Amino acid sequence: MAEIVLAIALVAGIYMAWNIGANDIANGMASPVAAKAVTLRQAVIIGGCLDFVGAAFIGSHVTETISRGILDSTKFTDPNVVMVGLLSALLASAFWVFVATWRQLPVSTTHSIVGAVVGFGVAAGGFHAVNWMLILPIALSWLVSPIFSGLLTYTIFAFIRRRILVQPRVFHSALNWTPLFAGGVVLIVVLSFLTKTPLGKRLGVDMQMGWMIGLFLAVILGFAAKNWMSRTIKEVEREGAERIFRRMQVFTACYVALAHGANDVANAVGPLAGIYSIYRTGAILPEAEVPFFLLAGGGLFIAIGIFTWGYRVIETIGQKITVLNNSRGFSVDFGAATSVLIASKFGFPVSTTHAAVGSVVGVGLAGGVAGVDFKVVGRITLYWIITLPLAAFPTVVIFKILGYFFL
């Protein structure tokens, strides 16, 4: 029985990883595509490769067996029940992300798997098996995450417009501010990967050392970026300034793709690793080691999802909410990345998807309310709200069906 559940779970994990790639690639690559910093083909190739590297080599090698403390582990003593429950959650969340991608709407894959795990908890252990106080911060993040990200992006673009875009010598103004923006991107990347992360722990880097490394590299590479751009970009006022932001935007988008692979591969392989751990040990462990082949496999199928279907949600975020150019697109990516970093370091459960959409809305509002298509934003928000229940309810049904055959 356990072998059959594991085999089905492997297929379900592949399906979930494929859907994650198709839906979440837009978080980093939508704005550079819309701003014509990269082509759609280049975006899916770059995003696919970096997502794979992030998942396989930076992704966490340890995952909680019963996701994120949402369920009371004392309520579940039968390993077979947990195996079937995690499989049900994986199938239901994958199908929900598929539906959202088909509708060209960005949803949080993290919240999808959380909702599915809640459905399994209710089905197998009753309402008391779920720690509902942990669900409240997730629900609040639907509001807090996009608003915070939108305000930050609005502020960043307002600064760029005031200090660069309306200046008489736009190109020189952009060049003079390059060390700040390029250095800021470097600092965000270093802090994201080295502080309070599995990679940082493996390298023995604490918060203080992470800041020292980040600031050192930010200063060095910030001025190196200014020197490189002054030598390689022609002095053509506004067009030249936009080219400066184009290069920084591509780099920021690459970081988002790399970070996405590292962080969100757990949504596909986390439940699968739990099932694999139970299969090997016959017991429910608090944490399960994630074998490299699962991380690499998850990264591979995330990349395949990007290659085959990633363009659908890219079109929604990049083109249907507001008009983006390179300076606006850089503000979107930098604002989203910064807000996710700040929130994650404070322990707030935010979604990169929510932050990306909030940033696009924020930069759109910088040009006036008429610059944002709120019908599209409304549809996206509706899908966010219904993600948890529409991942949870199918999990209950699938758990009952699978339980009939395997329990």
> What are the tens digits of pLDDT across the range 194-203?
877 777 788 8
Q: Is the pLDDT of residue 63 over 70?
A: no
**Domain residue limits, the chain:** 2-406
Residue tagged 């200063």 (tokens): 219
What dihedral do alpha carbons 276, 350, 321, 265 form, nearest 10°?
A: -20
Residue type, 322: T
Residue type, 275: I
Q: Is the pLDDT of residue 138 over 80?
A: no
CA-wise closest residue to 331 among 81, 37, 134, 3: 37
Q: How many beta carbons lie within 10 A of that of residue 271, not counting itself?
A: 33
Say how far apart CA 258 and CA 39 lie, in whole Å. 18
What dihedral do alpha carbons 348, 390, 87, 352 form, nearest 10°?
A: -30
Confidence tier at 61 by pLDDT (50, 70, 90): low
Give the residue-averaged pLDDT of 368-382. 85
Say how far apart CA 227 and CA 198 lie, in whole Å. 34
Say how far apart CA 49 and CA 300 lie, in whole Å. 9
Give the residue-averaged pLDDT of 132-150. 83
Confidence tier at 18 by pLDDT (50, 70, 90): very high
Structure confidence at residue 195 (pLDDT): 79
Say how far apart CA 142 and CA 326 lie, in whole Å. 27
CA-CA distances (angstroms) from residue 58 to 62, 198, 201, 262?
12, 7, 11, 5
Q: Is the pLDDT of residue 58 over 70?
A: yes
Confidence tier at 400 by pLDDT (50, 70, 90): very high
Q: How many beta carbons lie within 10 A of that of residue 292, not counting itself?
A: 12
- Predicted model pTM: 0.86
For 273, residues 6+ apart whose C-beta sits below 8 A from its C-beta are 63, 288, 289, 290, 291, 294
Altogether, the residues listed in the chain come to a count of: 407
Q: How far apart are the first and last CA of the chain?
A: 9
| CA max distance for the chain | 73
Percent of the chain with pLDDT over 90: 34
Give the residue-averaged pLDDT of 375-393. 91
Give the Cα-Cα-Cα angle 246, 252, 256 (nearest 5 degrees): 140
Q: Is the pLDDT of residue 68 over 60?
A: no
Structure confidence at residue 5 (pLDDT): 93
Task: Return mean pLDDT, the chain.
Answer: 86
Structure confidence at residue 116 (pLDDT): 94
